[in-house]
Amino acid sequence: MTDIFDEMEEDALAEVTVASDADLVSLGTLVEKQIEMEDAVIQLDNALKEAKENLQFHKTKTVPEHMNAIGTGLWSSADGTVVQLKPFVSASIPKSNKEEAYAWLIEHGHDDIIKNEVVLNFGMKEMEKAEAALETLIKAGYSPDTKQSVHAGTLKAWLGRQVEAAEPVPLELFGAYLGQVATITKGK
């Protein structure tokens, strides 16, 4: 059986021609243009990342702090633009806290937000075994890999409910941050 890459190489070698100096110069120009374009994309990606970080800081720190300093949580302009402070929750369990955070959730009756994933790896011709029920896997000699996780959105929603209900939660354990965000509804 011939490898497709071997065939491609043979075809390429069979069609080898000597390029002119002008062709090589134009290829060099095209390569330089591609490098410039790749660099531009990297710069734009970095600028976008920085702009998003600046916006996040502005709407979660700068504007809320100023509104709180002047004693208002709601402001509207003559054109109908409305700015309102709303609470927000951000959380992401650090890897270093994962076991302790999960233990805390279980101990406090919140284990329902922990998702348990069972991953099985079978060979290509083991479809029938793959369809077998989980309880038969150990008897069949397989050792399934398991993974526990808490989806970030689930964690944030759960934490929001806990905070709203004034339930004590160790925020640092869950990498949580509570704050306010300025939401703007544009006018006319």
Q: For position 146, what pLDDT does the model report?
A: 64
Tell me the average confidence (pLDDT) per consecutive run of 10 residues in the chain, 188 residues long.
Answer: 75 76 94 97 98 96 96 93 93 93 95 84 67 67 74 91 91 91 89
**Has residue 120 been placed in a domain?**
no
User: Does residue 96 fall inside a structural domain?
Assistant: no
End-to-end CA distance of the chain: 70
Residue 50 belongs to some domain of the structure? yes
Domain annotation covers residue 130: no
CA distance 108 to 179: 24
How many domains are there within the chain?
Answer: 1
User: Does the residue 94 lie in any domain?
Assistant: no
Q: What is the pLDDT of residue 57?
A: 96
Question: Would 28 be classed as within a structural domain?
Answer: yes
36 lies in some domain: yes
20 CB-near residues (< 8 Å, 6+ apart): none
Position 46 scores a pLDDT of 98
64 domain-assigned:
yes
Residues of the domain holding 28: 16-71
Question: Which tokens belong to 164?
Answer: 């709203």
